[in-house]
Structure 1
Amino acid sequence: MLNKLPLLMIIILSISSTILIGIIIRYLYLFITISYKNYNVNNITIVDRCSSILPYWLPLLEGLQNFGQQILPDYPFNIMQAYKKTIMPLVIFYVTHPTLAFIIFFILYYLFVRNKSPIPNRPFIRFNVLQSILLFLINSLLGATFRALPIEFRMSLYGLMLCNTLFWFVLSTIIYSIIKSIQGKYAKIPVISQAVRIQIDNRL
C-alpha cells in the first residue's frame, strides 16, 4: 500500500497540472478573443507581443532538456547557480512529465495552426506560434539524433563541442525571436522564418 502511494500522488499531480494548464490556456484564449474585438488585424498590440513570447517556452525547455543538462554543469559556478534557481525547476518538471510537451503542442496546433482555428486571425501571434512549434520540432529531432550517437563520442571533446553548438543555436534563435516579439517585429531566422511565412501565406 505504501509503495502505491507515491505513484498515486504522481498521477494526481500530473492530472492536476494538466487541468491547471488547460484552465490557464482557456482564460488566455478568452482574454485574447475579447481584447481583439476592437482591433485591426494588422495592428500589433501589447497583448500580441506578450502572447507571442509564451509559446517559446516549449522549444526552450526542449533544448535545455536535450543539450543544457549535459553542458551547463561545466559552465562557471555563477551561471549554474542562476540556472538552478530560475529555470532548472521548470526543466525538471518538463522532463518528469514527457506527455506535457505533446499536450501543449496539440493545444497550440488546435488553436493556431489548423484551418478552422477558434482564435481570431492574428498574423503576428500565428507567426510566432508556428515558429515556436517548428523550433520545438527541430530541437526534438536534433536531440534524438544527438542521443543516438555513441556515448563515447557524446562524452568526448568533439561531442561536447557539438552539444555546445546545438545548445547555443537553440538559445540564440529563441532569444532573438523573443526580442523581436517584444519589439513587435517579425523574426527573420534563415529557412525557419521563411517556412513559417510560406505556411501563413498559404492559409490566407
Structure 2
Amino acid sequence: MFNYFPIWIVAIISTLAIGIVGILLYQIYLFIIRSPGSYSKQDITMVDRCGSILPYWLPLLEGLQNFGQQILPDYPFSMMSIYKKTLMPLVIFYVTHPALAFIIFFVLYYLFVRAKSPIPDRPFIRFNVLQSILLFLINSLLGATFRALPIEFRMSLYGLMLCNTLFWFVLSTIIYSVLKSIEGKYAKIPVISQAVRIQIDNQQ
C-alpha cells in the first residue's frame, strides 16, 4: 500500500502544475485582450481554480475502472503505452482499495457540500466538488448497469460500442469541467450542472 503513495503525490503535483500553467496562460490571455481598468477584483482566485480541479480525479478513476480498462487495450499501442505509464497505476490502486472512493466521497461531502461546512464558503469550489460527486455517482450507476448486462452482450460489437460511448462521455465531461475550472468559469453540462445549481440554491 505505501509503495503507491508516491503515485498519488505525483498525480496531485502534476494536476496542480497543469492547473497553474493553464491559469497563467489564461491570465496572460486576459491581460492581452482586456484593458487595465476592465479587470474585476472579484474574479475567481487561483486557489479556487486549483481546488476545483482535484475532485475530478474521483469520477475519472471511476470511469477508467468501469469502462476504460475494457476498451483501452483495443486502442493504438502508443495510447495504451501512455495510459500504462500514467493513469494505469492509479487505476490499479483505486480498484484494489474499493473503500477509498467512498472515503473520498464522504470527505468531500462533509467539507464542501453540507450546508454547515467547516470550510469557509467558496462557491466556485463547492460547485465543482458537487459536480464531481454527481459525475462519480452517475459513473458508478452506469458502470453497475453495464456490468449487470449479459457477458455475451458486453463482449459483442454492440457491447463494446456502448462501453466506448460511455467512456468518452465520462472523459469528455471531466475534461470539459477541468478546462472550465482552469478558465475560472462555471461548467454548463446539460442536466448535470443544472442539478448542481438547484442543489446549491436549495441549501442557501
Matched residue, 1:143: 143
Query: Which piece of structure 1 moves more, 177-186 or 112-121?
Result: 112-121
Aligned ranges 1:32-181 → 2 under 5 Å? 43-181=43-181
In the TM superposition, structure 1's runs of 4+ consecutive aligned residues that sit over 6 Å from their partners are none
1:53-92 superposed Cα distances (whole Å, 9 cap, x missing partner) = 0000000000000000000000000000000000100000
Q: Which residue of 2 aligns with 1:200?
A: 200
Q: SS of 1:201's equivalent?
A: helix
**AA partner of residue 93 (structure 1):** F
TM-superposed deviation, 1:189: 0.2
CA distance in 2 between counterparts of 1:53 and 1:193 reads 16
TM-score, length-scaled by structure 2 = 0.80
Task: Classify the secondary structure of the residue corresponding to 1:79.
Answer: helix
Shift of 1:114: 1.1
Percent identity, please: 86
Unaligned segments of structure 1, at least 5 residues: 1-9, 25-41
Cα distance in 1 between the residues matched to 2:156 and 2:120: 50
Residue deviations 1:149-195 (CA, integer Å, cap 9, x gap): 00000000000000000000000000000000000000000000000
CA–CA distance in 2 between the matches of 1:179 and 1:203? 27
Equivalenced residue count is 172
In 1, the alpha carbon distance for the partners of 2:124 and 2:178 equals 12
Give the match's secondary structure for 1:58. Answer: helix
Quick one: distance in 1 between partners of 2:97 and 2:203?
33
Secondary structure of the corresponding residue to residue 79 of structure 2: helix
Root mean square deviation, CA, Å: 2.0
Equivalent-residue separation in structure 1 for 2:115 and 2:198 (angstroms): 15
Once the two structures are overlaid, the 10-residue window that deviates more, 146-155 or 113-122, is 113-122
Whole-Å separation in 2 of the counterparts to 1:103 and 1:43: 32
Output the TM-score relative to the length of structure 1: 0.80
User: Aligned residue for 1:31?
Assistant: none
Shift of 1:201: 1.2
